[in-house]
Amino acid sequence: MANIDLHFHSRTSDGALTPTEVIDRAAARAPSLLALTDHDCTGGLAEAAAAAARHGIPFLNGVEISATWGRHTVHIVGLGIDPDEPALAVGLKSIRDGRLERARLMGASLEAAGIAGCFEGAMRWCDNPEMISRTHFARHLVDSGAVKDMRTVFRKYLTPGKPGYVAHEWASLADAVGWIVGAGGMAAIAHPGRYDMGKTLIERLILDFQAAGGQGIEVACGSHSLDDMHKFALHADRHGLYASSGSDFHAPGEGGRDVGHTEDLPPICKPIWRELEARVLRPAG
């Protein structure tokens, strides 16, 4: 196990723990580097960085940006960003601004399918209304007893063609990558194994991503099997991309990998964090 984790979430977006709690939990694995990557917002970074410093753990400011590429939603992780850089801050705000209206439409869609009160129910799980997400709806659907677990929620609801799914236009791929690079960070395609794309489409995504200035891809990742990891290590090698590693942890008990560690990258990989040394926030002393 590598003790590096460059992709996880706090309550600032759709995680269940505060930035301090998630760093405290990650610290139990004695990681050598962490990055918090909340969806479309950077509001948890200062608290997370302070918590990491208390544990003596090096930290990178991160974000996971929702992007639309063709008819696909893809997520782009940004590492080593300056969260105060204006174009990034304004861009992320523009994404957040679309979430509340989308959530109302999701609530209406679920109501039409016979499950009332989901918008209000989801909002009770969400600290920050502009960050309302499918995860908050899923937690409400499980907690209210309508669906037995998170996996089943996304299988039966909230995904294309199912009740509660509302198509949405996120940032363009070029904007998402441009904001990250403009804020001094490096961009990585998040969890490529989760996209419904064959080899040809993945290669086209990589080429468009690189044309926009993207240089990384997640190889070791909470939602990748070992086969996925080796497959994307080969994609990274073929295209000269740096490899990233992250758990994509959201909440205790919601499945997936726990926070603070990832699989070791296959030896052919070039780890992205070696390129980010200058962006690492190190504990004083």
Is residue 75 near Mn ion by the rule CB under 5 A?
yes
Q: To the nearest whole angstrom, how small is the minimum distance from the Cβ of residue 78 to Mn ion? A: 12
Q: Using CB atoms within 10 Å of the CB of residue 114, give its burial: 0 to 12 exposed, 13 to 18 middle, 19+ buried.
A: exposed
> Cβ distance 255 to 249 under 8 Å?
no
Q: Which is nearer to ligand AMP, 141 or 233 (CB)?
A: 141
User: Which residues are bridge partners to 244 per DSSP?
Assistant: 218
How many helices (H) and strands (E) would you count in the chain? 10, 8
Stretch that binds Mn ion, among 74-82, 120-128, 165-173, 207-215 (CB under 5 A): 74-82
Toward ligand AMP, which CB reaches closer, 194 or 231?
Answer: 194
Kindly tell me which residue out of 6, 11, 14, 180 binds Mn ion, with binding defined by CB under 5 A: 14
Q: What's the CA dihedral at 193, 106, 87, 43 to 10 degrees?
A: -90
Which residue of the chain is nearest ligand AMP when measured via CB? Answer: 133
Strands 72-79 and 171-172, bridge-based pairing: unpaired
3-state secondary structure of 78: strand
Residues forming contacts to ligand AMP in the complex (CB under 6 A) are 14, 39, 66, 133-135, 150-151, 154, 250
Site string for Mn ion, 214-253 (x = CB under 5 A): ----------------------------------x-----
The nearest distance, CB 223 to Mn ion, in angstroms, is 8
β partners of residue 189:
76, 217
> Exposed, middle or buried: residue 156 (CB in 10 Å: 0-12, 13-18, 19+)?
middle
Quick one: 14 or 228, whose CB is closer to Mn ion? 14
Q: Which of residues 39-68 bind Mn ion (CB under 5 A)?
A: 64
Residue 248 CB, nearest approach to ligand AMP (Å): 8
Helix residue ranges per DSSP H, 160-265: 173-182, 199-211, 226-239
Q: How far is the CB of 183 from ligand AMP (least distance, A)?
A: 21
Residue with tokens 């760093």, as numbered in its chain = 23
Of 115 and 233, the one with the shorter C-beta distance to ligand AMP is 115
Residues making contact with Mn ion (CB under 5 A): 14, 64, 75, 190, 248
